[in-house]
Structure 1
Amino acid sequence: MTRSIRAMYFSPTGTTQKIITGIAGTISKHFAQETHTIDFTLPEERMKPISFSRDDIVIIGVPVYAGRVPNVLLKYLTSIMGNDALAIAVVLYGNRNYDDALIELRDILNNNGFKVIAGGAFIGEHSFSKTLAQNRPDEKDMNIVEDFANQIINKMRTSNELQTVNVKGNQPYRNYYKPINKEGIPVDIRKVTPKTNDRCLDCKLCVTVCPMGSIDPEDVTKLKGICIKCGACIKKCPSEAKYYDDQDYLRHKQELELEFSSRNEPELFL
């Protein structure tokens, strides 16, 4: 059977994209097929209806936000029609924990008519930080990506009947992870937004990379929608003009950098 390979991802800073395209590239070589890419990072892409067929292999990845699949993606993800396509579910987290994100993504895909035959939790540089999991996924991660893809190929080649993969996680899912302040009280940083300093060149790059389409193109210091703290506008700004100054956010960032500095490794499920 000829399989079509589909690489599908939400990746504001490019880390999830690197993992998904790595897996898809190895699988595509085995099937001698071109990889078809669906990048749903920007809002206009999430307006397009999409469906697959039983001849497709879909490698789909999202970042982990607060231990879960980003809630801003749920409407789009639950609209995708699997139609018995095979799927590999991938989540990418910033070295703290992926909590219930992988099992949640697997369940969404299963409920949409996919058969999820493999899953993986990988590590990428944290969206809040330039030091936590710095420069990951790195060469070691990408070697694991290639091995994972080869294991998936072997599973498809040797299994008479492919089964839905079991992955780590809780059902019902845990609540979204919340940081705490210095008094130990949970704090809500969802409404925290980036500021803009006087180094801004008004190049509008932040407008084009915002996955929510929230930065006002007429005045890039203003938001016209929500901020999901993906890090794209900060990490991609050529003049380092974007920053956060909220004290609860900064305290949480520092805690993450200190508490989770030890290297985590990817977890694979086949």
Structure 2
Amino acid sequence: MNKKITTMYFSATDTTKKIVSGIAKKLSENIDTKITINNVNFTLPEVRKEPVSFTEEDIVIVGVPVYAGRVPNILLKYLNSIIGNGALAIPVVVYGNRNYDDALIELKDLLQLNGFKVIAGGAFIGEHSFSKTLAQNRPDEKDMAIISDFANQIYTKITSQDKIQTVVVNGNKPYRKYYMPKDKDGNPVDIRKVTPKTNSNCIDCKLCVEVCPMGSIDSKDVSKLNGICIKCGACIKKCPTHAKYYDDKGYLRHKNELEIGFTYRREPELFI
């Protein structure tokens, strides 16, 4: 089989990266151990300025986190710029144990509209960007075994069907509105403008500046933001001194609500 494999992912805290890379590694082992996997990590803004296109000889695994039940709207412009030209695609969405709602069908539709043939798809669970306890340490060993089996199923489909069929995934059309948390009285709470604070633990190492996917943290004063915050968790989870935090009451109430209400283990959903 003369195929090239590429991973494409947005992964601020590395969970989506782990899942997409796991699929690609196992798939490459099945096809040819000598295959080199090309990686396009579009987490940082500079990468999202570069156009990407493929051919019918490519297999592309595209992974994004789920934000409020949908594909993050800040990624739509970039995702719409990727040209498939008949390449095979596997959309992957990763959510923090609440629900992936319409994110997978939305990503599938985006890829199809851009000329990809979508042959499989999956919704996986990763540690929630708001929390260190919700879906803690996922994807874990059990998840990675499912990921390996998913790659095996994709390989079987590619090699056993003369005309590879496109996949059907779960989701609603039209897509549901972005999920919005509510206060104790049931009123919607908008946390989009909530930003992280910086405490005295900060050693000014600038790591938060480097990992911010929006390029929003000021390099001269890391307590300031020069752009939007998407609540990806990168600056908080990767800070070596735990200097970043949120103190907004609405945000903290929603975080607590998620940690209490969604403790049961959700399992990956695969579509072949």
TM-score (norm 2): 0.99
Task: Name the counterpart of 1:14.
Answer: 14
Matched, 1:205 2:207: yes
Q: Deviations 1:208-256 (Å, cap 9, x if unpaired)?
A: 0000000000000000000000000000000000000000000000000
Aligned to 1:69: 71
Cα distance between partner residues in 2 of 1:173 and 1:128: 24
Query: Is the CA contact (8 Å cut-off) linking 2:119 and 2:164 kept in structure 1?
Result: yes
Any idea what SS the aligned residue of 2:120 has? strand
**If the length of structure 1 is used for normalisation, what is the TM-score?**
0.99
Moved over 2 A (4+): none
| TM-fit CA distance, 1:160 | 1.4
* Match of residue 120 from structure 1: 122
Matches within 5 A, 1:87-126: 87-126=89-128
Q: Which whole-Å CA distance do the structure 2 matches of 1:251 and 1:28 have between them?
A: 44
CA deviation profile, 1:134-179 (whole Å, cap 9, x unmatched): 0000000000000000000000111111121000000000000000
Amino acid at match of 1:113: G
RMSD across aligned positions (CA): 0.5
User: What letter matches 2:18 in structure 1?
Assistant: K
Aligned to 2:137: 135
Distance (Å, rounded) in 2 between the aligned partners of 1:221 and 1:121? 35
Which residue identity lines up with residue 125 of structure 1 in the other structure?
A: E
Gaps of 5+ in 1: none
SS at match of 1:72: helix
Residues 44-89 of structure 1: per-residue CA shift (max 9 Å, x gap): 0000011000000000100000000000000000010000000001
Q: How far apart are the structure 1 equivalents of 2:192 and 2:59?
A: 35
TM-superposed deviation, 1:202 = 0.3
What amino acid is the match of 2:49?
Answer: M
- Written as runs of structure 1 = structure 2, the 5 A alignment for 1:233-252 is 233-252=235-254
Q: Work out whether 1:39 is the aligned partner of 2:23.
A: no
How far 1:31 sits from its partner (Å)?
Answer: 2.1
Contact 2:118–2:166 under 8 Å retained in 1: yes
- Contact kept in structure 1, 2:31 and 2:155, CA below 8 Å: no
Residue 263 of structure 2 corresponds to 261
Equivalent in 227, 230, 234 of residue 229 of structure 2: 227
Number of the residue aligned with 2:24? 24
Unaligned 5+ runs, structure 2: none
Provide Cα deviations, 1:98-145, integer angstroms capped at 9, x if missing partner.
000000000000000000000000000000000000000000000000
